Amino acid sequence: MKYLSLEKTKEKIAIITIDCPDGKVNKVSSGFLDEVATVMSDIKRSNDIIGLVIMSAKEDNFVVGAAIDEIENMRNSQEAVTYISKGHAILNELENMKIPVVACIHGNCLGGGLELALVCNYRLAVDAPQTVLGFPEVQLGLLPAAGGTQRLPALIGLTEALPMMLAARTLRAKQAKRAGLVDELIPPYGLKETGIKKALQLVKKGIPARKRNRSFMNFLLESNPVGRSIVFSRARKMITSQTYGCYPAPYAIIDAVEYGFKNGMAAGLKKEIELFGSLVMSPQSQSLRNLFFKMGALKKNPQKNLARRVGKLAVVGTGFMGQGIAAVSTSVCDTILMKDVSLDAAASGMKEIWKGLDKRSKSGAIVPFDRDMQYNKLVPCDNYSLFRNTDLVVEAVFEELSLKRRILADVEEATDERTIFASNTSAIPIKNIAQGCQRPQNVIGMHYFSPVPRMPLLEIITTDQTAPWVTATAVDMGIAQGKTCIVVKDGPGFYTTRILAPLLNETVLLLEEGAVPNDIDRAMRQFGFPVGPAALIDEVGIDVGAHVYEQLGPMFLERGITASESLGRLLAQGYKGKKNKKGIYRYDLKKKKGQKLPDEAVYAILGGRPRRKFEADLIRHRISLMMINEALTCLQEGIISCPRDGDIAAVFGLGFPPFQGGPFSYIDRVGPAKILALMEDMEKQQGQRFRPAQILKDTVKTGKKISAEK
């Protein structure tokens, strides 16, 4: 067999070991399911097997879910229904076997892997950081479709199960044990032997009765139809408030679970299959799956052979960004220098990193030994005397060109040609920072996003002089840090900040014209952005926004696009946004009906026009098209090398709606000709800033998709 191996012990216990070829992880595919069916048939025909153990041969995963590429190749809903029905039949048969079945879980047990474990009679889980259980399907616009929506709530209850399915919440081994998802925690050695022993015990004593610990309130809510209806109603309201109904998958999950509770397990399983078929063909799921494949492609370094290992890292500036960069490097590097103006400042940054490591240790993400070992890699310093033989220096000070140049000069004096200098600037061109330096070929940009440990994107910026090995090393470092890396060419704002600036500028122009901040944010949330742009200005910081316009203003002015000066005026009046609780919104007052209250004093600074109603579609078109057109211009100018990189950066760096797939995927889905018509209409109404990029016009002429460009 290709995916499984079967052995029998002298005690008459069968052991199925999963080991999918051509990959580091086990995935549920059609071939995998066929072999499971064959093995089960053999076991059922055998008269000398009294128990079954299922385990994985992989070091760090049990089964990570379905083979998404198979789902991607499905042409209609019926193909999806046929595929998942096959999985249902096999798992139902496994669940109904007359012998006890034990799952030995080590590493990731996700999606279809967890559904496989759920049909087993007993679940052993290795108590190690690598053991994680969950249902990530909602992130692909799907639902757990092999019985997960029915068996998980039945096992651990609605209040525990719904967050796992609706928010892709994962549980580590101890959490899973507390929730009742696994029956027993075991050490990370002797896995097979422990599984055999447990199977024999179940043969002799039978399957133990499970008692779920739950609060009195949860008991009241889950044990009767009225209480359950309250839970489902709250879940739907929460999803609507968070996503404005843009994603069908969470609602389908709730529908499947509720249907099962009302009509029984068998009916619930059929409903799950039906909903899966419709979700697979939904444009939202197609866009999310497309992003998944794009991210997968960027996990590989195309110039891996040129990359050099970063054993010694130095971070200059140990504030919030510097702390984050060091924190995601503690498992990657051997030594991390924490350089600041004083040892106290460096120690303060190290203290915050310790808090993060300790929190991860308490959650089970790492063991205490790894926490201590990673923290001990940090070395505080207030000068450059320790920088010799450093492989990579990341500068993370505030956005001041003269300061960055001075730091680069100091680093070059303390290091040699082996050392890469990377600036974590968000807008200043790297060539300006490198101007006059000794080794411009070693200078690169590494633009991290805040907060660094949570944000998945790393934008790597190269100049005409950056050496290929430097780029390759930066990409390798980013991948090791767990980032999805895009490489872009140098220029004001690079790609992400450059396409964000027109979006924010159009937001300010709407405010100047009399739009209400809440109306703007609501319209863009309905389009799919996780945060409205008016709120985003406060989150990013009005001072940061004013600085970005200062950097990018001349470039836009050359194209006839005048940047609003309102952010500068607000900054001059002491408005910095959420950081000093003076922004477009009030932060000293409670929300009203779930909405922040605008600071009406801002209106006078923005021009004093009375507030008026703007159509939601007009707001959406004005704001989204400014970002989309700038993304097209960046592709046209070669700032990004392909639409894929532009989509990934916009979604994971700036929050462009994932279900829209990114600006380029959005153009293809809506149609390039329709987007061009909207742009031309906006140009007539609003002026030159909406002039469509030439690449869009050329694409419409050829009749191709924008994703086919370059």
Neighbours of 689 (CB within 10 A): 22
543-565 residues labelled b (16+ CB within 10 A) or e (exposed): bbbbbbbebbbebbeeeebebbe
Cα–Cα dist 443/425, whole Å:
12
**Measured between alpha carbons, how far is residue 361 from residues 354, 371, 373, 636 in Å?**
10, 6, 12, 47
Q: For residue 358, with 0-12 CB atoms within 10 Å meaning exposed, 13-18 middle and 19 or more buried, which class applies? A: middle
Residue 64 in contact with residue 123, Cβ under 8 Å? Answer: no
Positive/negative CA dihedral, 623, 138, 150, 79? positive
Strand partners, 577: 582
> Rounded to whole angstroms, how far apart are CA atoms 391 and 393?
7
Residue 316 and residue 407 in contact, taking contact as beta carbons nearer than 8 Å: yes
- Gap between the Cα atoms of 128 and 185, Å rounded: 9
Nearest-angstrom CA–CA distance, 627 and 205: 65
- Confirm if 647 and 508 have CB atoms less than 8 A apart: no
Three-state SS for 105?
strand
- In whole angstroms, give the CA distance from residue 73 to residue 78: 13
Q: Could you tell me which of 262, 243, 303 has the C-alpha nearest to residue 530?
A: 243
Cβ-contact 407, 376 below 8 angstroms:
no
DSSP class of residue 66 equals B
Establish whether 683 is a catalytic residue.
Answer: no
Residue 21 token pair: 């070829």
Q: DSSP string spanning 528-595? A: T-SS-HHHHHHHH-HHHHHHHHHHHHHHHHHTT-PPPSHHHHHHHTT--BGGGTBSSBBSSS--BTTB
Specify the DSSP class assigned to residue 689: G
Residue 414: Cβ-neighbour burial (10 angstroms; 0-12, 13-18, 19+): middle
The one catalytic residue among 459, 550, 630, 680 = 459
Cα angle, residue 433 at apex, residues 427 and 434 outer, rounded to 5° = 135
| Bridge partner residues of 487 (DSSP) | 460
Region for residue 153 given its phi and psi (left: phi exceeds 0; alpha: psi -120 to 50; beta: otherwise): alpha
| Active centre residues (catalytic) | 459
